[in-house]
Copies of this chain bind each other. A is one copy, B any other.
Amino acid sequence: MWRNCVRLARGLGRSAVLRPDPKVSRCGVVRGLSPAVPCSPLWNSVTWLSQARQSKDYALPNSSWSQGMMDLYSRFLEMCKDGTWKRIPSYSNSIDHIPESLKLTSEKERKETRFFPRNMNTEGVGFEYAMFLNPSEKRMVCLFQPGPYLEGHPGFAHGGSTATIIDSTIGGCAIFAAGRVMTANLSINYRNPIPLGSVVLVDSKVDQVEGRKVFLSCQVRSIDGQRLHAEATALFIQLDSTKSLQQQMSS
């Protein structure tokens, strides 16, 4: 996967980047394991996200994006043309991220809340990011430019902001594998701090699905691929839409 990612960042063209991984079956499980749950119908469609067409899509370029962010975004957009990659829209309200059919009763009403990574009013100061999904590789990539309001150590992104973008990317990947899911475990190794204003590539993939469990992994690298900023593993649990979140996490 990483070799593909470096090629992608270096612009070696679609044929190199998008070659299907022989270890990944289209609707199966990575690394030769049998699928325990059927492939989510969401893998091949992001149309459910268009339900929120009246809401602003924040995963589009704005004047705060650096040239490096713009270049990488354009490269991914180019790779969307044949349908192998798909751009994922993003909204400031959490309920816009949930398909109508998967909403719990308590989630039908729009409230004055904000989706955490999209909670800032000013462009460029917080999380600037755009995600792209590769259904055949069960892979979600996020282009991330941390702004000056995400600071931890002076000049660098807070460990919590790195955890947030990893959780969001890897969680987005899990959603397309298993529908509604919730993080059960997230383990992050921080290798090199991420400078504020830089652009990094968060590259996540489904490793395995076992019943309601979805195992994923992720790497965060500089766009030239040379610097590993963080790597993570995660376990997500597929939710039962007939129960409340608290009911199923306690069980």
Main secondary structure of the interface of A (DSSP, over half): mixed
Given B115, B148, B250, which contacts A158 in the complex, CB threshold below 8 Å?
B115
Count chain A residues whose beta carbon lies closer than 8 angstroms to a beta carbon of B. 55
Whether the Cβ atoms of A188 and B185 lie closer than 8 Å is yes
Does A242 reach chain B (CB closer than 8 Å)? no
- Contact residues, A57-106 vs B (CB, 8 A): 94-95, 98, 104, 106
- What are 17 A-B pairs at a CB distance below 8 A? A94-B151, A104-B154, A111-B148, A111-B154, A113-B149, A113-B196, A114-B148, A115-B151, A115-B152, A119-B150, A153-B245, A159-B163, A159-B167, A160-B163, A161-B164, A182-B193, A192-B249
What sequence of 0s and 1s flags, for each residue 184-197 of chain A, a beta carbon within 8 Å of any chain B beta carbon? 11111111110010
Whether the Cβ atoms of A113 and B148 lie closer than 8 Å is yes
For A114, the chain B residues whose CB sits under 8 A away are 125, 148-149, 151
Whether the Cβ atoms of A160 and B249 lie closer than 8 Å is no
For A186, the chain B residues whose CB sits under 8 A away are 159, 163, 187-188, 190
Whether the Cβ atoms of B196 and A189 lie closer than 8 Å is no
Does A171 reach chain B (CB closer than 8 Å)? yes
For A113, the chain B residues whose CB sits under 8 A away are 148-149, 151, 154-155, 196
